[in-house]
Chains A and B, each alone.
Chain A
């Protein structure tokens, strides 16, 4: 899973592909400043339908500058 954040570090999107190459084929959304990947423990919570944690509730610490 890839998470996308805005200039304030708030997570504003995510994408998960059926295959790694499908997921890596996605580009940066037009309203995103950068992206990150959750660690394994967070990923398991994000994909658990019973977990209340939602990508839009996340804030990325020290967001990177948007890649050219």
Chain B
């Protein structure tokens, strides 16, 4: 059996299949002794070799199971899980939707608590796991996070904190900026908060949070 080039025309330069294991027949697109990357198939398995190592394996593995494995450069797919960049044996987070939202933190009175939020109906029908990040400039931090805080010590001192959080149920996602301000002087030191715009990036996952 010779390889058929793309388009269906028999290519006279193609080589015959190379036995990969005595008594079995596989197919490769390299001639005997030819160096370089190659594709190899046998039975229910497909492998991509970079010229030295088998870097990709799709299909049936040595233990009889089926899957996909991709190894790091310099390693083969059978050199151990720690040398793989992808392994279908292990689940991974799957993003079903991503988005952004801006929440403005409201200036409020000292001695109180302020929550500003953006609520979004997601329509997924389940409570998704969420990965979110927030920034008031260009550098994002992971949510939840204490995004700002200020302490003034002494007899007329005060403490103010702003934090970012995210919450979800089976119908909605909520992105929140929470502020609290306390003082221990006779009078509050003006207003608390600074009215910043906080930009969220969020990822809703196929994996559930409950």
Interface residues of A (CB under 8 A from B): 12-19, 22-23, 25-27, 29-32, 54-56
Contacts and interface: CB of A to CB of B under 8 A. Distances in A.
Interface of B is mostly: strand
Contacts, number: 62
B98 A16 contact: yes
29 contacts: A12-B101, A13-B100, A13-B102, A13-B118, A13-B120, A14-B99, A15-B98, A15-B99, A15-B120, A17-B96, A17-B97, A18-B95, A18-B96, A19-B96, A22-B96, A22-B97, A22-B124, A26-B120, A27-B122, A29-B101, A29-B119, A30-B119, A30-B120, A31-B101, A31-B103, A54-B100, A55-B100, A56-B100, A56-B199
Contacts of B22: none
Interface centre among A14, A23, A30, by most chain B C-beta atoms within 10 angstroms, is A30
B2 interface: no
Given A26-B122, A56-B199, A12 B99 contact: no
B140 to A, nearest CB: 11
Contacts of A15: 97-99, 120
Contacts of B118: 12-13, 29-32
Contacts of A14: 99-100
B101 A13 contact: yes
Contact residue range for chain B? 10 to 19
A22 B102 CA distance: 21
Interface of B: 95-103, 117-124, 197, 199
Contacts of B119: 29-30
Contacts of B103: 31
Nearest to A32: B118
Interface centre among A16, A17, A22, by most chain B C-beta atoms within 10 angstroms, is A17
Nearest to A56: B199
A17 B94 CA distance: 12
Nearest to B100: A14
A11 B104 CA distance: 13
B123 A29 contact: no
Given A13-B99, A27-B120, 17 more contacts: A13-B100, A13-B118, A13-B120, A14-B99, A14-B100, A15-B97, A15-B99, A18-B96, A18-B97, A25-B122, A26-B97, A26-B121, A26-B122, A30-B117, A31-B101, A31-B117, A56-B199
